[in-house]
Amino acid sequence: MRLSRYYLPILKENPKEAEIVSHRLMLRTGMIRQQSQGIYSWLPLGKRVLDKVNRIIREEQDRSGAIELLMPTLQSAELWQESGRYDAYGKEMLRIKDRQDRPMLYGPTNEEMITDIFRSTVKSYKSLPLNLYHIQLKFRDEIRPRFGTMRSREFLMKDAYSFDLTREGAEHSYNKMFTAYLRTFARMGLRAIPMRADTGPIGGNLSHEFIILADTGESEVFCHRDFVNFDIPAEDTDFDDVGGLKKIFDQWTSVYAATSEMHDEAAFDAIPEGERLSARGIEVGHIFYFGTKYSEAMGAKVQGPDGKEHIVHMGSYGIGPTRLVPAIIEASHDENGIIWPASVAPFDVVVINMKAGDEACDKACEEIYAALTRAGKDVLYDDTDDRAGQKFATADLIGVPTQIIVGPRSIAQGEVEVKDRKTGARDTMTVEAAINRVNG
Ligand code: ATP
Ligand code: MG
């Protein structure tokens, strides 16, 4: 992408309305724009990051055996009347009427709809286990939308829903998602701590919130300090290995499980004083086993191996991609701007032409740009005639992991400078070596 032809509406000044660093940086870099309270457009730079986040989520959901579909944002009120949540949901639900005066709503979540899909299509235990997910916009009329897309009214959610014949089966489905979540967040350069969460009035349920440590977070987490060092499951984890996944789950949840103090003060008190970690954090995911709550109310059952009908056991599993993007920025930035982990960076590399119009500079930049693009890299080429200082500031601000700086003096020696955004380290090398460094 040539910057001269790109759309990158950078703000020079810090926007006054932004209270936290991620919100400030997302506005300054032109990643997002507020359209009305708590409702955002994702501008091209932001959209690139969001797409990369979604791709990681998708890959890990697919790896765990979940299957993607797409449900609509608008739902009929009828389904929610069946489950009893139409009245219970309250003012967070945006209610709409269509031209026939039929009550509709903008979905805040999809348990009812997926249960409806399930009950009308799945009849036998042989189709189980089943986990269906989508990545779709949700709407919740939050009392206090704030911090940009961290807590917005319209937001993207990956929501998965599992169906099993038995409670044991459902626990394995839960452990699959638990494992997939550990991998998902780790691939984004994040350490997410699974925190035991409230499960509401129905006993025997299982729930974890995944929390990224950050001072600006709205959640509190209490755990053993070793939690930040636990192993992340490997890519070749066998998701059909019931015992293996249980072991992963146990490592993270048995001893000194992370908890919100509200949930279980005793668990925290059991940890030796010098080994306690109490911190604030951002909830980026939430997994939930709720048994037969919706399947019972909505008649989702299958024929079992015994020939009888069984109400299915369900779980639901959410991740907030539009919250993850600011969460990653909260975890990775400095005074000059964002520092993207390579896996979610909007571009892999930015080529900075310090003197656009200079024959040697242009030629070298074009060569690097073409070679890296050919190699499948996402390349931003700053071919504008801005001042060099301005270009450096922009490159640092938008946080692309590697910068290749091409200036008239060094290119006369056949050399360019390669700068690592994270460490600030600069190395001088030949054009070819610079290309190899990025490709390597
Ligand atoms: P919170 O306590 O932050 O309101 P929640 O418990 O209501 O979250 P869930 O219903 O579990 O959230 O939704 C699953 C995921 O969707 C959350 O873990 C979060 O990542 C994301 N999410 C929820 N509400 C919002 C929001 N208003 N803006 C952005 N992301 C959200
Ligand atoms: Mg909420």
How far is 363 from 361, CA to CA, in rounded Å?
A: 5
> Ligand 1 in contact with 337 (CB < 6 A)?
no
Domain with CATH 3.30.930.10 in the chain: 8-338
> From atom 14 of ligand 1, which residue's Cα is the shortest distance away?
318
pLDDT digits (tens, 9 = 90+) for 333-372: 999 999 999 999 999 999 999 999 999 999 999 999 999 9
- Average pLDDT of the residues in 154-161: 98
pLDDT beyond 70 at 398: yes
310 lines ligand 1 (CB under 6 A): no
228 pLDDT exceeds 90?
Answer: no
Per-residue pLDDT, 412: 97
pLDDT in tens, 362-390: 999 999 999 999 999 999 999 999 999 99
Let me know if domain 349-439 sits in CATH 3.20.20.100.
no
- Mean pLDDT calculated for residue range 146-174: 98
With a 6 Å cutoff on the Cβ, whether 351 touches ligand 1 is no
Task: Report the percentage of the chain scoring pLDDT > 70.
Answer: 99
Q: Which two structure tokens, joined as six digits, stand for 433?
A: 């070596």
* pLDDT of amino acid 261: 74
* Best mutation site among 20, 218, 263, 286 for ligand 1 pocket (most ligand atoms within 8 Å of CB): 286
Q: Residues 6 or more apart from 302 whose CB is under 8 A from it?
A: 122, 123, 124, 125, 127, 128, 165, 309, 310, 312
What is the rounded CA–CA span in Å between residue 254 and residue 97? 48
Return the SS3 of 311. Answer: strand
Q: State the pLDDT confidence band at 440, using cuts at 50, 70 and 90.
A: confident
pLDDT band with cut points at 50, 70 and 90 for residue 436: very high
Give the distance (Å) from ligand 2 centre to CA of residue 21: 22
Ligand 1 centre to CA of 73 (Å) is 16
| Residue closest by Cα to atom 24 of ligand 1 | 151
The CATH 3.40.50.800 domain(s) of the chain lie at 349-439
Q: Higher pLDDT residue, 242 or 273?
A: 242
pLDDT confidence bin for 91, thresholds 50/70/90: very high
pLDDT at 305: 98
Mean pLDDT of 88-108: 97
pLDDT digits (tens, 9 = 90+) for 15-69: 998 999 999 999 999 999 999 999 999 999 999 999 999 999 999 999 999 999 9
138 lines ligand 1 (CB under 6 A): no
Q: Which of 281, 318, 26, 15 is nearest to 148 (CA)?
A: 26
pLDDT at residue number 268: 82
Whether residue 70 is predicted with pLDDT greater than 80 in this model: the reply is: yes
CA of 412 to the centre of ligand 1 (A): 54
Mean pLDDT of 119-147: 98
Distance CA 404, CA 416 (A): 7
Handedness of CA 355, 359, 361, 365 (dihedral sign): positive
Q: Would you place residue 230 in the very low, low, confident or very high pLDDT band (cuts 50, 70, 90)?
A: confident
Alpha-carbon distance of 142 to 88, in angstroms, equals 15
Cβ–Cβ under 8 Å, residues 33 and 43: yes
Q: What percent of the chain has pLDDT over 90?
A: 89
Q: How far apart are the first and last CA of the chain?
A: 21
Residue 203: the pLDDT is 54
Which CATH number applies to 8-338: 3.40.50.180, 3.30.930.10, 3.40.190.10, 3.40.50.2000? 3.30.930.10
Closest Cα to atom 18 of ligand 1: 285
**pTM: predicted TM-score of the whole model, two decimal places:** 0.97
Sorting pLDDT into bands at 50, 70 and 90, what band is 199? low
